[in-house]
Amino acid sequence: MDYDFNFAAVWRDFDLLLSGLGLGILLALISIAIGCLIGLLAAFGMLSKRRAIRWISLSYVSAIRNTPILILILFTFFALPQLGIRLGKIESFIVTLSVYAGAYLTEVFRAGLVALPKGLREAGLTIGLTEFRTKLLITIPVMLRNVLPSLSNNFISLFKDTSLAAAIAVPELTFYARKINVETFRVIETWLVASLMYVVTCYVIAAVLRQVETRLAIPR
Amino acid sequence: MSQNLLEIQNLHKRFGQLEVLKGIDLTMRQGDVVSLIGSSGSGKTTLLRCVNLLEEYEEGVVAVEGEQIGYKQKGGKRVRLSEKEIARQRAMTGMAFQHFNLFPHMTAVRNVMLGLIKTRGMDKDEAHSIAEKWLERVGMLQRKDHFPGQLSGGQQQRVAIARAIAMNPKLMLFDEVTSALDPELVNEVLAVVLDLAKDGMTMLLVTHEMQFAHDVSNRVIFMQDGRIGEEGPPKELFKKPKSERLAAFLKSSKF
Ligand SMILES: Nc1ncnc2c1ncn2[C@@H]1O[C@H](COP(=O)(O)OP(=O)(O)OP(=O)(O)O)[C@@H](O)[C@H]1O
Ligand SMILES: [Mg+2]
């Protein structure tokens, strides 16, 4: 193999890659936050006494989970404007990723809620809290702490999924890597650096989240 | 009604087809300590849970201080009260559970403070000092910053009792508060309950500890298939059971 490695071209535009990485992290953060809200609502929906609400939640979860995420991204970006909903590419991607995250988190939260001892809710009620406050102060916080490890995994997946935003030209890491690749023809160098940036970032995120998990874990 | 702290009239409760309470009448006055005994499945827990509407009831009346719990009469029909009203009524009573049910993400003192702040509307300082007072009373002040997972069963139960009592309820409900405990931890919890009873707390308790029921209560009720089988002062009930069923039950519970 006599490939001549030359990283100079990649280093020249490294700040672009970095800014792309920053945007990817930001997109993942915003999407998991919105996704948590959607997931919580849908999880309670799945456990609702009303059939219609259960049905709506279940339909949402199955529809999203059974559609490839790239299709969801393209659909939101290209099809919604036809219906009169016009979003910028970044906003469009955030909507998609949040809705996508929400569907997966629904399952996580639903399982977490079901696993709680039922006495927890009852203890809240007996000290005079309403059902709503019991959820807000007791069942949801306890459940969230219990599912923190799966939440972390979901976040890392979401971060990697931000690379698909390149498909609609959101200027994140993959988008810039492709741009540099096209402009410099340093194929191996560009994709090697981009890959390493993903790997290192995922590694760091995982390490940070493990710290957060231990700090927030319910002491025993 | 004004005299009675708790008034239960003709209470019926069904789970689907199964009728679990078949017409219970029970009244309690301020300071009464009433023990519910009876074999498994006789409806003791269900009766207790109807008093704070953890179970809905279909027929009859449960009233605390003359106020019907959970429902009101409107145009001859029975209507469920609003969520807020029910929450207020639930706080008239306190409950301690078999499995403690402490909030695992809060320290002992926070467990006690939560209701004081959110339901009783106290500020943090006031709630904290009341919580400390009650934790001291149940011998848990030194452990106030421990989380439930860091406490023994007996300690958790004492915190749970403090959490309920601190709310200053008119009536305390205890459902087999020692059944989930290792034998050597039973007494520390019973001592706390006894101490509260001596202090004049009105309480309705379910227990399998016959000696304790004998010592703590001024009335004992023997539940039998969703009905009150027999009731009376503990001395009479335990020494001279009228029915075969009660005699057999007492024998089997090694009193
Ligand atoms: N949520 C429920 N759904 C259906 N049946 C129930 C439910 N809770 C209780 N039951 C039934 O109601 C009956 C009375 O139960 P309850 O728990 O009140 O008995 P108990 O006297 O407290 O018994 P134990 O001494 O075992 O605690 C039992 O037959 C029980 O199976
Ligand atoms: Mg019971």
Pairing of strands B219-224, B227-232: antiparallel
pTM for this one? 0.91
What's the pLDDT score for residue A160?
A: 97
Would you state the torsion angle of the CA atoms of residues A116, A117, A118, A122, taken in this order, to the nearest 10 degrees?
A: -100
User: Which of A117, A127, A132 shows the shortest C-beta gap to B91?
Assistant: A127
List chain A residues with CB under 8 Å of B171.
Answer: none
SS (H, E, C) chain A: CCCCCCCHHHHHCHHHHHHHHHHHHHHHHHHHHHHHHHHHHHHHHHCCCCHHHHHHHHHHHHHHHCCCHHHHHHHHHHHHHHHCCCCCHHHHHHHHHHHHHHHHHHHHHHHHHHHCCHHHHHHHHHCCCCHHHHHHHHHHHHHHHHCHHHHHHHHHHHHHHHHHHHHHCCCCHHHHHHHHHHHHCCHHHHHHHHHHHHHHHHHHHHHHHHHHHHHHCCCC
Which of B87, B103, B164 is nearest residue A138 as measured by Cβ atoms?
A: B103
Mean pLDDT in residue range B190-203: 95
Between A33-47, A66-80, A177-191, B108-122, the lowest mean confidence (pLDDT) is in: A177-191
pLDDT in tens, B23-33: 999 999 999 99
- State whether B101 and A141 contact (CB < 8 Å): no
Q: Give the pLDDT of residue A95.
A: 97
Q: DSSP letter string over B11-22?
A: EEEEETTEEEEE
Query: In whole numbers, what is the pLDDT of chain B averaged over residues?
Result: 95
Q: How confident is the model at residue A5 (pLDDT cuts 50, 70, 90)?
A: confident
Model confidence at B1, pLDDT cuts 50, 70, 90, reads very low
Just give the CATH number of A25-172.
1.10.3720.10
Question: For A159-174, what is the mean pLDDT?
Answer: 96
pLDDT-derived band at B117 (thresholds 50, 70, 90) equals very high
Tokens linked to B106: 């809060």
Residue B82: closest CA among chain A residues belongs to which residue?
A130
Predicted confidence band at A56 (pLDDT cuts at 50, 70, 90)?
very high
Tell me the mean pLDDT in the region A112-122.
97
Mean pLDDT of A10-30: 95
Question: Could you give the percent of chain A with pLDDT greater than 70?
Answer: 100
Predicted confidence band at A10 (pLDDT cuts at 50, 70, 90)?
A: confident
| Mean pLDDT of the region B162-184 | 96
Does A93 have pLDDT greater than 90? yes
> Are the C-beta atoms of A134 and A121 separated by less than 8 Å?
yes
Name the H helices within chain B: 44-51, 83-90, 108-118, 124-137, 153-165, 183-198, 210-216, 234-239, 244-252
pLDDT > 70? residue B90: yes
- Least confident stretch, A6-15, A64-73, A146-155, A158-167: A6-15
Q: What is the mean pLDDT of residues B3-27?
A: 95
Distance B98 CA to ligand 2 centre (A): 8
Tell whether the model's pLDDT for residue B155 goes beyond 90: yes
Which ligand 1 atom is the nearest neighbour of the CA of B44?
21
Backbone angles phi, psi at B171, to 5 degrees: -145, 135
Task: With CA atoms as reference, report the closest residue to A122 among B6, B194, B102.
Answer: B102
DSSP character at residue B106: S
Residue A133 has pLDDT above 50, yes or no: yes
pLDDT of residue A9: 83
Residues from A in contact with B at Cβ < 8 Å: 117, 119-120, 122-133, 137-138, 141-142, 145, 218-220
- What percent of chain B has a predicted confidence (pLDDT) above 90? 95
Residue B89, pLDDT > 50, answer yes
CA–CA distances in Å: residue B26 to residues A3, A110, B236, B242: 92, 41, 18, 19
Taking the Cβ of residue B88 and every Cβ of chain A, the question of whether any pair is shorter than 8 Å is answered with yes
Nearest-CA distance A45 → chain B (Å): 19
pLDDT band at B73 (very low <50, low <70, confident <90, very high): confident
Q: What is the pLDDT of residues B55-71, one digit of tens each?
A: 999 999 999 999 999 99
Chain A contact set for B115 (CB, 8 A): 127-129
The ligand minimizing its distance to the Cα of B16 is 1
Q: Among partner residues B54, B105, B163, which is closest to A218 by beta-carbon distance? A: B105
